[in-house]
Structure 1
Amino acid sequence: MPSIQLHIENGVAQVTLNRPETFNSFNREMALLLQNTLDECDTNQEVRAIILTGNGKAFCAGQDLNEVTSPELNPGFRKILEEHYNPIIERIRTIEKPIVGAVNGVAAGAGANIALACDIVVAVENASFIQAFSKIGLIPDSAGTFFLPRLIGFQKASALMMLGDKVSAEEAERLGMLYKVYSADTFIEETNKLALKLAQMPTKALGLTKRLLNQSMVNTLEEQLSVESDLQIEAAESEDYAEGVNAFIQKRKPIFKGK
């Protein structure tokens, strides 16, 4: 079985990390395949929303330590970061389609930070998040030091990263790390319902919103207002904007095509 599975239906691409025997930990083959799969979702016009999830009991346990401790297989940390994780994070943030991180179990190390980089994060009630790096003498990577302080504040992020505390799904929702927690019985159904809703929305506007959120991380207020003006003009030229206005005037539900 491939280490990454892709299923496309009704405008939603489900991308599944598929190394359940290692709790979906990353080796080089899986990291590169995930990048290729995300590229495919980006260029496929039929795809208007993406679910990123894991197979089995875990979402992702981070790096496969068997690979980095093997003299034959170890690619080295620079290659792992610059060719594996950094490109994955960059794709998640630059694909102008909504990406739902569906955390189906433990998300540890790079696995936790990949989830947090997604646009909307949901979790099953028994999921957990662990900044596990300090437990083996490493520092947080995969943009964890960028996103986590912005999500929950500097002080809490610092403690979680230094102490390596496990955070339950319920606590993660309370802290603002994720959008919603679902019961084990409804997790798959609710996640699919959320992604389908996103796939039926104005994809162009959602993509531009994502671009604005990315730029808000570094822009001044004046710069952000200027970019908002430019991108609002771009959004107003879309077919979906025309459809949305016509549907509002005609008192009907809009049918967006993502253009």
Structure 2
Amino acid sequence: MNKQAKSRRKAFVSERYSRYQRLKFDRPHPAVLRITLASPLKLGAMDALMHKEVSEIWSDVEADASVAAVILTGEGRSFSAGGDLNHERKVVDDYHLRFQTMREAQRLVLGMLDCSKPIVTAARGWAVGAGLACLVMADVSIVSRDAKFSDGHLKVGIAAGDHATIIWPLLCGMAKAKYYLLTADVFTGEQAERMNLVSLALDDAEVESRAIQVAVQLATGPRHAISWTKQALNMWVRQATPIFQASLAYEMMGMAGPEGREGIDAFLEKRTPDFQIKSEESA
């Protein structure tokens, strides 16, 4: 593609999406919008601004008639290692900030669920917490075999909120969902494909090109038929919306409690959390 064409394509996406600071946009195909998570933090972790923007982008995508399919990817060698725990520590002590975080988490998950355009994720490196939510809530998820995933919530003493309870049991079954959500163990992209949590696991070098191939196929197919098929399939997921809302409330309750405070403090202080003492103190 020559420089003039690249400039036109960049201008084509910049006007509508110019307010976003943590998301980058380009068009690998005229009908495909690629959104890149561009975090200033290590491993693509989400600062407060990125978390807000990822929760808001789906309404803009829905309103953009020029977009027929979306790719969501990470910048560099990582997708997103979840929330910034320095910010989450502020959420622990601030009721209004906690409520804002909860609303953003709702909009992120339900926004991806309700978006009529098919969403393809391309993930390499780490995807944790809210980053994993973005990955798994997509319609087609393509990951590198050696990518590393963890829900992560239990490691910092809070319930598995975000996306997990609304979709994991449907994708990988209750036994695997309980194991990986209760332990917060790390697993690879290859394992994620094997347990049906993601669509495809490929060699690292193939992830982005395959995501583009799939997104272009969706964008150039019968738009209404694809959208209606997505919406019909998502009715299975929507049945679990009350479960999702409950888990998100439990997550916020735990964040404000002694276990959540101990878990986040221990992570920031680089020590092992002592949840037993904190649980006994609150008994």
TM bucket (normalised to shorter chain) is: 0.7 to 0.9
The corresponding residue for 2:236 is: 216
Say whether the 8 Å CA contact 1:58–1:106 is kept in structure 2: yes
2:163 aligned partner, one-letter code: A
Provide the rounded CA distance (Å) in 2 between the counterparts of 1:146 and 1:34: 18
Task: Give the counterpart of 1:89 among 109, 114, 127.
Answer: 109
Provide the rounded CA distance (Å) in 2 between the counterparts of 1:183 and 1:114: 21
- In structure 2, relative to structure 1, the CA distance for the partners of 1:60 and 1:218 (3 Å cut) is closer
Provide the rounded CA distance (Å) in 2 between the counterparts of 1:186 and 1:103: 11
Cα RMSD over matched residues?
Answer: 2.1
The corresponding residue for 1:242 is: none
Greater relative contact order, per chain length (Cα 8 Å cut-off, separation 6+): 2
Provide the rounded CA distance (Å) in 1 between the counterparts of 2:235 and 2:90: 40
- In structure 2, relative to structure 1, the CA distance for the partners of 1:217 and 1:44 (3 Å cut) is closer
The corresponding residue for 2:87 is: 67
The corresponding residue for 1:136 is: 156
Gaps of 5+ in 2: 1-19, 240-283
Say whether the 8 Å CA contact 1:22–1:64 is kept in structure 2: no
- Structure number with higher helix proportion: 2
Task: Give the counterpart of 2:99 among 74, 78, 93.
Answer: 78
The corresponding residue for 2:145 is: 125
The corresponding residue for 1:224 is: none
Say whether the 8 Å CA contact 2:176–2:195 is kept in structure 1: no
The corresponding residue for 1:165 is: 185
The corresponding residue for 1:13 is: 33
Provide the rounded CA distance (Å) in 2 between the counterparts of 1:27 and 1:102: 20
The corresponding residue for 2:211 is: 191
The corresponding residue for 2:58 is: 38
Matched residues, percent identical? Answer: 24
Which runs of structure 2 are paired with 1:16-27 in the superposition (5 Å)?
A: 16-27=36-47
TM-score by length of 1: 0.78
Gaps of 5+ in 1: 220-259
Give the match's secondary structure for 1:145. Answer: helix
1:76 aligned partner, one-letter code: L
The corresponding residue for 1:222 is: none
TM-score by length of 2: 0.72
